[in-house]
Amino acid sequence: MADLTDQEIRVLILTRLAVDLWPVAGRALGLGRDAAYAAAKRGEIPTLPFKGKKRPVPTSFLQATLGLNNKEVA
């Protein structure tokens, strides 16, 4: 999933309830891998409480932060 284009990331954010912290949310927010995980650890990027290594980010947060809405899927 690391080789996603910006358009593919945008579509994921607009069509899913949650996306992976890295690379989807991190790249959408202009962060590298380490910075994305550090921001999530500090609570700056909300993540859903799942056991294991997955850190899903609610797309509602990303849509609001990035000023996107689901009518923009193309």
CB atoms closer than 10 angstroms to residue 58? 17
pTM: 0.86
SS3 13: helix
The mean pLDDT value for 47-62 works out to 91
Residue 58 covered by a domain = yes
| 58: containing domain | 6-72
Residue 1 covered by a domain = no
DSSP summary character for residue 22: I
Residue 53 covered by a domain = yes
- pLDDT over 90, % of the chain: 77
Taking a C-beta distance cutoff of 8 angstroms, is the pair 14, 30 a contact?
no
Residue 32 covered by a domain = yes
pLDDT tier at 19 (50, 70, 90 boundaries)? very high
Could you give the number of structural domains in the chain? 1
pLDDT for residue 50? 84
Residue 56 covered by a domain = yes
pLDDT for residue 2? 56
pLDDT for residue 61? 97
From the list 48, 50, 49, the residue with the least C-alpha distance to 60 is 48
Give Cα separations from 23 to 29, 47, 71 (angstroms). Answer: 10, 14, 23
